[in-house]
């Protein structure tokens, strides 16, 4: 009998395992892949604040971001530049492995190549059925379980836990590019003709390497082809490794039941503006660990006891998720012509300078609300007829 089983070795699951093992609990972390970080599909952008807050490993850092340029449908630009880093760009696989090494050092047991097929909540424990390479079904029992399986919602569904309101579809590749005239700026491409419902990106990795990708609420393939050809016209697509991922948006439903908590992306705890899952995943894990440690003090594993997690995450970042979700829904109805007009008005009135005190890399709702007011009131903004 373990104290806690954690299912899914992304950042949220690994960090929760580390914190719980560090607190003296007996933790087993299950991961379907045979190697941590083997298929870690991610833009790899982590806000600078996260490294200090969660004491994150710095070895996987590839480059930093000090300049972000937003590019309108017709090529107009808004630029936000800082002297200190806004964020770090990481190798996500190496990042996950470094977190896992820390968790194992704290005493967490890592079970790799183990796919959990079912989770049964019983009166005095939870029981997992899983398969490992070359073996038949096996079982393990624990006092409670934490689900951190990302967008794979099969366990959530079986227990009636949270499910996404919407999925975005993302594609990404890495390119070697010649000097491009905009230095090491991270570029974000917006517009209905670029990535309907979301945006595209070009992120510097150093040594002339770039991550290029987009997410959208429609079929991403034609938009991705168009964006890559826009950035690198001579690209031979047959040579590219193109990664695909679904991105959950603003989950509906509860995150807890008796003896079980869903956290991180499995609970919809990702930035609804950018689709980034690392920061809120780590924050979600921190809140889970706090609740679980208190639960073991009382030995009350009921849904009512674990519901403290619901209150914590909603008060900590729930507002961020909902404002971001509805802001992105609103943005999906703005025409390319309106976007261009807003870029003109924003540049004419130094909007980014006036928003500077509200611009935080991982906390967006204040800047979003201020931008919405500007969209409605700036000369040439959306409050006027097209």
Q: 84 pLDDT exceeds 90?
A: no
pLDDT given for residue 344 in this prediction: 87
Q: Residue 329: pLDDT above 70? A: yes
- Any idea what the Cα angle at residue 18 is, between residues 15 and 21, rounded to 5°? 150
Residue 365 has pLDDT above 60, yes or no: no
Q: Assign 97 a pLDDT band (cuts: 50, 70, 90).
A: very high
Mean pLDDT of the region 114-143:
93
pLDDT of 22 over the 80 cut: yes
Instruction: Give me the residue label for tokens 């979003």.
Output: 368
Rounded Cα gap, residues 211 and 233, in angstroms: 15
Write the pLDDT tens digit of every residue in 178-208: 877 677 899 999 999 999 999 999 999 988 9
Q: H-helix or E-strand containing 292? A: helix 278-298
DSSP letter string over 167-211? EEEEEEEEEE----SSTT-EEEE-STTT-TTSEEEEEEEETTEEE
In the Cβ-directed half-sphere of 316, how many Cα atoms lie within 13 Å?
19
Q: Encode pLDDT of 277-310 as tens digits.
A: 899 999 999 999 999 999 999 999 999 999 999 9
Predicted pLDDT of residue 80: 85
Quick one: average pLDDT of 326-347? 85
Cα 235 to the center of its chain, rounded Å: 28
Model confidence band, residue 356 (pLDDT cutoffs 50, 70, 90): low
pLDDT at 381 (0 to 100): 47
Q: Count of alpha carbons within 13 Å of 44, Cβ hemisphere only? A: 32
Q: What is the mean pLDDT of residues 209-221?
A: 95
How confident is the model at residue 371, as a pLDDT?
64
| Cβ atoms within 10 Å, residue 117 | 12
User: From start to end of 207-262, where are the E strands?
Assistant: 209-216, 243-252, 256-257, 260-262
370, pLDDT greater than 70: no
Instruction: Inform me whether the pLDDT recorded for 119 exceeds 90.
Output: yes
């Amino acid at each position: 009998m373990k104290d806690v089983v954690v299912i899914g070795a992304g950042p949220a699951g690994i960090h929760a395992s580390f914190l719980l093992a560090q607190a003296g609990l007996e933790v087993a972390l299950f991961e379907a892949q045979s190697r941590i970080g083997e298929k870690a599909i991610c833009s790899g952008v982590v806000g600078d604040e996260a490294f200090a807050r969660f004491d994150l490993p710095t070895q996987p850092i590839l480059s930093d971001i000090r300049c972000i340029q937003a590019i309108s449908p017709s090529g107009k630009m808004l630029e936000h530049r800082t002297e200190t880093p806004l964020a770090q760009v990481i190798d996500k696989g190496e990042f996950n492995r470094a977190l896992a090494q820390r968790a194992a050092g704290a005493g967490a047991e890592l079970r790799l190549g183990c796919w959990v097929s079912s989770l049964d909540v019983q009166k005095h424990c939870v029981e997992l059925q899983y398969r490992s390479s070359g073996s038949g079904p096996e079982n393990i029992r624990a006092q409670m379980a934490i689900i951190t399986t990302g967008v794979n919602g099969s366990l959530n569904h079986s227990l009636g836990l949270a499910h996404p309101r919407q999925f975005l579809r993302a594609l990404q590749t890495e390119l070697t590019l010649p000097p491009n005239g905009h230095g090491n700026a991270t570029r974000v491409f917006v517009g209905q003709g670029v990535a309907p419902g979301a945006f595209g990106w070009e992120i510097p990795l150093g040594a002339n390497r770039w991550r290029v990708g987009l997410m959208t609420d429609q079929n991403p393939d034609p938009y991705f082809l168009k964006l890559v050809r826009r950035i690198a016209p001579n690209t031979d697509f047959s040579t590219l490794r193109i990664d695909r991922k679904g991105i959950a948006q603003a989950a509906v439903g509860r995150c807890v039941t008796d003896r079980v908590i869903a956290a991180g992306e499995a609970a919809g705890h990702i930035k609804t503006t950018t689709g980034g899952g690392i920061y809120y995943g780590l924050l979600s894990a921190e809140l889970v660990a706090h609740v679980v440690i208190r639960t073991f003090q009382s030995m009350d594993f009921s849904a009512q006891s674990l519901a403290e997690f619901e209150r914590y995450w909603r008060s900590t970042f729930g507002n961020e998720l909902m404002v971001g979700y509805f802001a992105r829904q609103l943005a999906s109805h703005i025409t390319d012509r309106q976007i261009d007009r807003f870029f003109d008005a924003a540049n004419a009135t130094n909007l980014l300078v006036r928003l500077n005190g509200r611009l935080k890399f991982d906390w967006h709702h204040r800047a979003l609300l201020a931008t919405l007011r500007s969209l409605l009131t700036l000369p040439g903004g959306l409050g006027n007829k097209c």
